[in-house]
Structure 1
Amino acid sequence: MLHLRLITPAERTDDVVRLIERTVGTTHLVVIPGAARNPKGDVVMCDVAREAADELLSGLQKLDLDRTGSIAVENIDLSLSERAEKAEADAPGEGADAVLWEHLTDATHEESTLSVTYVAFLTIATMIAACGVVLDNAILIVGAMAVGPEFGPLAGIGTALVRRAPRLALRSLIALLVGFAVAMLVTVGFTYFMDAVDLFSRVKLDAERPNTNFIYRPDAFSFVVAVLAGAAGTLSLTSAKSGALIGVAISVTTVPAAANAAVAFTYDEYRQAWGSTVQLLLNLLGIVLAGTLTLLAQKWLWAKQRERAPRLG
């Protein structure tokens, strides 16, 4: 269940209340006239089943409540109420399958913003991965994958394509390109420093490296795994069950490929640098493609569920 807290202009309150009352899956409606001060208006609160929330939010936006008032949404961790159970039972579909498009857009917008923190995380992850490839240490590679924040912009591009939001697409693309460019440049400098103190060497990079040589040897499985990870990551972002995202982060070779390319370029190992770059591009393409197709499939399936809902009722 989700809890909605609305501030409505007095002249819009009746319309808002009628919309909530006729939306299947809502309950616990509360109206407090004149309680809001900034902006002035009435406070309306209700609980809504997750699977009915997107329809309700769209209706509230059509009433211009996002401009003239306020719409706030919170997750309810526990609700001991027979009315809440009935609301969830009446709402079509399953809550775990429901996509809150406004929430997804807002979340990916935040995650795909080019910020100092985002670039710092990506740079640190790339330097950790650089240590991993030189030492042929799979644990460091996994750690770098987990630290890297690049899935946010990738999800932002997929969301922007489905929602036809060019601003989000541009913001995500800039974050992705600038973030990786800065991370790789800093990693080149980091490699020079580590070589100067005899911690990195060309010999270590050129060794067989059985645990990490897959990073610069892309194949069909690289793309397949990226596609599967992109689908899983998108499902994790859009559903109520988001615990899988960390697993997605450690299954794709984006940050390690960027790190290997940077280290290889430093030592003029252009074969490895090229192979790592291809690996990086394959992973990025696979994630964006799978994420976009997953969102399109979710959008289509949810529309079909809504079409069947009246007949099921």
Structure 2
Amino acid sequence: MLHLRLITPSDRTDAVVRLIEGTVGTTHLVVLPGAARNPSGDVVMCDVAREAGDELIGTLRALDLDKTGSIAVENIDLSLSRRADKAEDEAPGEGADAVLWEHLADATHEESTLSVTYVAFITLATMIAACGVVLDNAVLIVGAMAVGPEFGPLAGLSTALVQRHPRLALRSLTALLVGFGVAMAVTVGFSLFMDAVHLFSQEKLDADRPNTGFVYAPDWFSFVVAVLAGIAGTLSLTSAKSGALVGVAISVTTVPAAANAAVALSYGDTKQTWGSTEQLLLNLLGIVLAGTLTLLTQKWLWAKHRGARVPSRGAPL
């Protein structure tokens, strides 16, 4: 279930209330006339089944409520109510299959914004991965994958392509390019420093690395894994199962490939640099392609399902 808290201009409250009452899957409607102060107006609250939430939120935005008032949405972790159970039963489809496009766009907007924190995380992840590839330590590689924040911009790019949102696409591409660019540049300097203090060496980089040699040897398995990870990551975002993102993060070799490219570049090893760059680009392409196709499929399936659903309880306006 979702909880909606709305601030509505007084002259639109009746229309909003009728809309909520006419939407299948809503319950616990509360109206507080004149309760809002900034912006001034009435406060309307209700609970709505997740599978009915996207349509209701979209219709509220069509009433310009996001401009003249406010629309706040929260997830309800626990709701002990027979009315809530009935609302979920009446709503078409399953909540786990529903995509809240407004929430997805907002989440990916935040995750794909180039910020100091984002650059710091991706740089630290790349430096950790650099230690992992030189030492051939799989634990460090997995740790670096988990720290890396790059799935946010990748999901943002997929969302932008599906929603035709050029500003989100540009923001996501900027975060990816600048983030990896800064991370790899800093890691080159880090590698030179580690070599100077005799912790890194070209002999270690050129040695047989059974645990981490895959990061500069791209093949079709790399692309297949990236596609599968992209599907899983997108589903975890749209179904609000964020815990699955950890598994996605440690299944693709974006950050380790960038790290290996940076270390190899510091030693002038063009073969490993190019191989790692190919691995990085292959993984990025696979994730974006899979994420975009997953969102398009979800959009088509949900539109088909909504087209065959039962009518709402009444005319919304």
> Could you state the TM-score of these two structures normalised by the residue count of structure 1?
0.99
| SS across alignment from 1:309 | coil
What is the total number of aligned residue pairs between the two structures?
313
Residue 25 of structure 2 contacts residue 49 of structure 2 at CA under 8 Å; is this kept in 1?
yes
Instruction: String of CA shifts for 1:207-226, please: whole Å, max 9, x gaps.
Output: 01010000100000010000
Deviation, 1:308, is: 1.4
The answer as to 2:166 corresponding to 1:158 is no
> Could you state the TM-score of these two structures normalised by the residue count of structure 2?
0.98
CA change 1:96–1:43 in 2 (3 A) is same
Residue 4 of structure 1 contacts residue 72 of structure 1 at CA under 8 Å; is this kept in 2?
yes
The answer for the alignment partner of 2:222 in structure 1 is: 222
The answer for the alignment partner of 1:298 in structure 2 is: 298
CA change 1:212–1:272 in 2 (3 A) is same
Instruction: String of CA shifts for 1:42-61, please: whole Å, max 9, x gaps.
Output: 00000000000000000100
The answer as to 2:275 corresponding to 1:251 is no
Equivalent runs, 1:49-88 vs 2, <5 Å: 49-88=49-88
For residues 23 and 164 of structure 2, the distance between their equivalents in structure 1, rounded to whole angstroms, comes to: 27
Unaligned residue ranges in structure 1 (runs of 5+) = none
Instruction: String of CA shifts for 1:106-162, please: whole Å, max 9, x gaps.
Output: 000000000000000000000000000000000000000000000000000000000
For residues 242 and 185 of structure 1, the distance between their equivalents in structure 2, rounded to whole angstroms, comes to: 31
For residues 18 and 300 of structure 2, the distance between their equivalents in structure 1, rounded to whole angstroms, comes to: 28
Equivalent runs, 1:1-313 vs 2, <5 Å: 1-310=1-310
For residues 155 and 312 of structure 1, the distance between their equivalents in structure 2, rounded to whole angstroms, comes to: 33
Deviation, 1:240, is: 2.9
For residues 241 and 253 of structure 1, the distance between their equivalents in structure 2, rounded to whole angstroms, comes to: 22
Instruction: String of CA shifts for 1:235-289, please: whole Å, max 9, x gaps.
Output: 0001032221100000000000000000001111110000000000000000000
Residue 96 of structure 1 contacts residue 241 of structure 1 at CA under 8 Å; is this kept in 2?
no
Which one has more relative contact order, counting CA pairs under 8 Å at least 6 apart?
A: 2
For residues 144 and 241 of structure 1, the distance between their equivalents in structure 2, rounded to whole angstroms, comes to: 22
Instruction: String of CA shifts for 1:150-181, please: whole Å, max 9, x gaps.
Output: 00000000000000000000000000000000
| SS across alignment from 1:241 | coil
Give 1:101's aligned amino acid.
W
Residue 132 of structure 2 contacts residue 141 of structure 2 at CA under 8 Å; is this kept in 1?
yes
Residue 260 of structure 2 contacts residue 273 of structure 2 at CA under 8 Å; is this kept in 1?
yes
Instruction: String of CA shifts for 1:87-123, please: whole Å, max 9, x gaps.
Output: 0000011111111000000000000000000000000
Residue 25 of structure 1 contacts residue 88 of structure 1 at CA under 8 Å; is this kept in 2?
yes
| SS across alignment from 1:188 | helix
Deviation, 1:305, is: 1.0
For residues 136 and 178 of structure 1, the distance between their equivalents in structure 2, rounded to whole angstroms, comes to: 27
Deviation, 1:311, is: 7.6
For residues 7 and 312 of structure 1, the distance between their equivalents in structure 2, rounded to whole angstroms, comes to: 24
For residues 182 and 129 of structure 2, the distance between their equivalents in structure 1, rounded to whole angstroms, comes to: 15
- Detail structure 1 runs of 4+ shifted over 4 Å in the superposition: none
For residues 220 and 196 of structure 1, the distance between their equivalents in structure 2, rounded to whole angstroms, comes to: 37
| SS across alignment from 2:309 | helix
For residues 241 and 202 of structure 1, the distance between their equivalents in structure 2, rounded to whole angstroms, comes to: 42
**Percent identity between the two aligned chains:** 82
Deviation, 1:312, is: 11
Residue 23 of structure 2 contacts residue 312 of structure 2 at CA under 8 Å; is this kept in 1?
no
CA RMSD of aligned residues (A): 1.1
Give 1:166's aligned amino acid.
P
